[in-house]
Structure 1
Amino acid sequence: MPKSKRNKVVSLTKAKKKDRTWKEGLITQVRNAAEEFPSVCLFRYHNMRNELFKDLREQLKDSSRFVMGSNKVLQVALGKTPADELRTGLSQISAKLAGHVGLLFTRMAKDEVVAALEEVHEEDFARAGSAAGQEFKLAAGPLSNATGPLPHTLEPTLRKHGLPTKLNKGVVELLADHVVCRAGQTLDPNQAALLRVFGVKMATFRLTPLAWWSSDGDVFEELNEYDGNPDEDGEPDSGLMEDDAAAAAAAAAGEQQQGDDS
């Protein structure tokens, strides 16, 4: 009897599983970049915002290449110890690959790279799972945000997110004082949604240069200490690393083709 098609599992995500081919391609890409570019900067990202990061990639594409992915895979590519490091000193960069970090291979001078990364600073709305930067509370009475009184169509949404509200002649009113969040509290989806409605931004997308390696003398230098905060939001999504994935797959395919030709 043929299998029923009704029980067929359909994946609703477009993200492709990072299989061995992808990982091997990423390793090849990192090693090629290490040979092509004279310097590497390890950076830490805070509250990642993909579109803003893509803009930075575009600005620096003629002189630099960003690579982000599994820290473990990147460590393998660079080498974990002096015995297996790709180039002298790169294992020191590898040792600091932990948390929300990425690599920037570049032809730019160190001061130029540091300035370019530290210039990135954009306020945005915090996401669920991140820590509230401050307390935010609402007083009982008519509700408004920076643009004026809230439209009456928002009232059901506000109640859905936990606010005790009602409509009074078309005006959205809060029935009692309400604390949306307290400083340091981990935000849930309802709190994050309410902060967005009232225009309260508690997240800052920024980049911090952590370490620098140069092939000129194989010099390694620490630039800043890792100041990782597990409560920050912004893990890069699959779309952010599409270029890396494509390059990794192409590199792996190229190596395979060379092997077949030989």
Structure 2
Amino acid sequence: MARSRRDKDVSLTKVKKKTRETKEKLVEQVHQSVDSYKRLFVFSMENLRSNRFIAIRQQFKNSSRFFFGKTSVLAIALGREKATEYAEQLHKVAQTLKGQCGLIFTNDSKSQMMEFFENLSESDYARAGDIAPISLTLPEGPLPQFAFSMEPQLRKLGMPTKLDKGIITLIEEFTVCTEGEPISVEQAKILKLLERKLSEFRVKLACHWSKKSGFEDLA
């Protein structure tokens, strides 16, 4: 009798025992999810915030299951090639797993999922290492939004300031950040003090797979 595709062994060689057991468990969980859910999406996140991700998982806890990170193991679980794929066309899904991304297994409809994530957008303060989406320059002059006691803190962050009659004042034009360049620790702190939220948390769906229709590229 022909061997079922689902009975195929998954190779996880050259790993320590504990690590191997963890990876084998993840592979098994992915296989169980393929069997249990109607569809899956590959997703990636821009400006990842763990609290936002946890909130999304909580919102979908009754209908979906999320796997994030360990993309090489997720790809092995799905099957990187047609000969090793766990279900029809899953190797195409595995080939999209690049960079920081993950899988969403769900019983919700494709339209529900796409509408939710298309409308999901939350502004937040940029962190060190984020790429500045705009250039922000402050003109020479007073900064009345800050209490005079903050002047040493602003100066320590690199802002050319002085106290003028009890008001913090920039003694020359100051560039907080430059579009396309990484934001430093000091710049991130200044942006937060200025209450400028330059970071936007978003989730992008790269592809869709279902048991009925197979693979679909959404990029």
Relative to the length of structure 1, the TM-score reads: 0.73
Summarize the alignment of residues 11-30 of structure 1 with structure 2, pairs less than 5 Å apart: 19-30=19-30
Question: Bigger shift: 47-56 or 106-115?
Answer: 47-56
Aligned equivalents of 1:118, 1:46: Cα separation in 2: 13
CA contact (8 A) 1:46 1:100 kept: no
2:85: which partner in 1?
Answer: 85
Aligned equivalents of 2:30, 2:140: Cα separation in 1: 56
1:195: which partner in 2?
Answer: 191
1:41: which partner in 2?
Answer: 41
* Per-residue Cα deviation, 1:122-181 (whole angstroms, up to 9, x for no partner): 11112111211111111222214xxxx212332222112111112334322212111112
5+ long unaligned stretches in structure 2: 1-17
1:11: which partner in 2?
Answer: none
5+ long unaligned stretches in structure 1: 1-17, 225-262
Residues 166/20 of structure 1: CA separation in 2 closer, same or farther (3 Å cut): farther
1:235: which partner in 2?
Answer: none
1:193 Cα deviation (Å)? Answer: 1.5
Aligned equivalents of 1:169, 1:27: Cα separation in 2: 67
Letter in 1 for 2:217: E
Letter in 1 for 2:122: E
1:182: which partner in 2?
Answer: 178
Residues 158/40 of structure 1: CA separation in 2 closer, same or farther (3 Å cut): same
Residues 22/167 of structure 1: CA separation in 2 closer, same or farther (3 Å cut): farther
Aligned equivalents of 1:140, 1:105: Cα separation in 2: 53
Q: Secondary structure at the match of 1:19?
A: helix
2:66: which partner in 1?
Answer: 66
Letter in 2 for 1:199: E
* Per-residue Cα deviation, 1:179-201 (whole angstroms, up to 9, x for no partner): 11221122111112111111112
1:96 Cα deviation (Å)? Answer: 0.3
* Per-residue Cα deviation, 1:100-129 (whole angstroms, up to 9, x for no partner): 211100001111111122121011112111
Letter in 1 for 2:141: G
2:216: which partner in 1?
Answer: 221
Aligned length: 202
2:9: which partner in 1?
Answer: none
Letter in 2 for 1:54: I
Summarize the alignment of residues 30-179 of structure 1 with structure 2, pairs less than 5 Å apart: 30-144=30-144, 149-179=145-175
Question: Of the two structures, which has the highest relative contact order with CA contacts closer than 8 Å and spacing of 6 or more?
Answer: 1
Which runs of 4 or more aligned residues in structure 1 lie more than 3 Å from their structure 2 counterparts after TM superposition?
18-21
Letter in 2 for 1:222: D
Q: Secondary structure at the match of 1:27?
A: helix
Aligned equivalents of 2:91, 2:107: Cα separation in 1: 20
Residues 73/166 of structure 1: CA separation in 2 closer, same or farther (3 Å cut): same
Aligned equivalents of 2:147, 2:215: Cα separation in 1: 56
CA contact (8 A) 1:150 1:172 kept: yes
Q: Secondary structure at the match of 1:74?
A: helix
Aligned equivalents of 1:154, 1:83: Cα separation in 2: 64
CA contact (8 A) 2:69 2:100 kept: no
Aligned equivalents of 1:139, 1:19: Cα separation in 2: 55
* Per-residue Cα deviation, 1:191-223 (whole angstroms, up to 9, x for no partner): 121111111121111111111110125x11011
Aligned equivalents of 1:156, 1:117: Cα separation in 2: 43
Residues 61/151 of structure 1: CA separation in 2 closer, same or farther (3 Å cut): same
